[in-house]
Amino acid sequence: MIDTMAVGRPAAVAAYLIRGKESALIDIGYASSAETVRKTIDASGVGSIDYLLPTHVHLDHCGACGTLAKMYEAASVRVHPKGERHLIDPGKLWEGARELFGDELMNQYGRPQPIEAKRVRVIGDGEALNLGNGVTLRSIWTPGHASHHLSYVVEETGTLFTGDAVGISSEAYPVLIPTTPPTSFNLEAAVESLERIRQLSPKTFLTPHYGVVSDVEDSIDANILSLRDWTAGVSEMLERGLSIDSITSSLTEQIGSRLPKPTELPDYLRMSIRLSVLGAVRYLKSLDHA
């Protein structure tokens, strides 16, 4: 596990280095984290990276991909087909994120660098990457958080790299926060993805936000319940005519009240909550127009 030190904060965004005969990096972090990730990789004794594998093309997972692709010139970049164009030309991705986060935060995240088209290859559902030395990664299409989301499982051990198929929870903030961002959050797809993960009988989750989860069954159940409760709660508040800001404030207060001791939530978690509210609202309004 590599702590990418996202915008200078520990235990917010993790990347994972997998080593067989070849090496792969699953999730890459923000562009501003590229040097931190590179130094950690170098300190591990890995001389090169063979695969860069963002689980999806949100900036905390793919932002540093272009920079690291230049650092590791032999690395093949693999991504879901819907994410390919955003790695080759991240301009639209950048502008869409800027509308959500604003210029100040975007400057902290750093601008993703484009990747040569010949370096980027699509990877679909169920494809295997044999890293050698008894390490095989298999891709799993897990939409819901995003339509272009992939998780990866190590077939030999049952270790599963979840990406944002699961919510946010860490040792410092041990409350499960759903990740339901715009533009393509879909409750049914998210639940179906978790059930598909369950059918694989994974032994361990390695999550980006943040760390190792050993009790996989409980985690799956908790995530499904959390997604349903979150969406229902947002729906109920919308029906009462509450604004986005009011819904966000209410849910932020609820999450804070469930912490073991009173703690002010950091800005990055507050922003995650707001994004998840925006995504849930967009999803619910899409149902109204279906």
- Structural domain tally of the chain? 2
Same-domain pairing of 109 and 235: no
Same-domain pairing of 177 and 252: yes
Same-domain pairing of 132 and 254: yes
Q: Quote the domain boundaries for residue 224.
A: 124-290
Same-domain pairing of 118 and 128: no
290 pLDDT higher than 70: no
Comparing CA positions, the residue from 215, 134, 113 lying closest to residue 169 is 215
Sign of CA dihedral 207, 192, 252, 94: positive
Same-domain pairing of 141 and 285: yes
Question: Which of 95, 123, 151 is the endpoint of a domain?
Answer: 123
Residues 210-219: tens digit of each pLDDT: 999 999 999 9
How is residue 182 written in tokens?
Answer: 């715009």
Contact between 279 and 182 under an 8 Å Cβ cutoff? The reply is yes
**pLDDT class of 264 with cuts at 50, 70, 90:** confident
Same-domain pairing of 262 and 149: yes
The pLDDT, as a whole number, for residue 288 is: 82
Same-domain pairing of 132 and 117: no
Whole-number Cα distances in Å, 83 to 56, 109, 177, 201: 7, 19, 25, 27
Residues 110-154: tens digit of each pLDDT: 999 999 999 999 999 999 999 999 999 999 999 999 999 999 999
Q: How far apart are alpha carbons 130 and 136 in whole angstroms?
A: 4
Question: Which of 103, 123, 143 is the endpoint of a domain?
Answer: 123
Q: How far apart are alpha carbons 165 and 178 in whole angstroms?
A: 9
Same-domain pairing of 100 and 160: no
Question: Which of 71, 102, 123 is the endpoint of a domain?
Answer: 123
For residue 193, give the CATH number of its domain.
3.60.15.10
Same-domain pairing of 237 and 227: yes
**pLDDT class of 47 with cuts at 50, 70, 90:** confident
Q: How far apart are alpha carbons 46 and 29 in whole angstroms?
A: 18
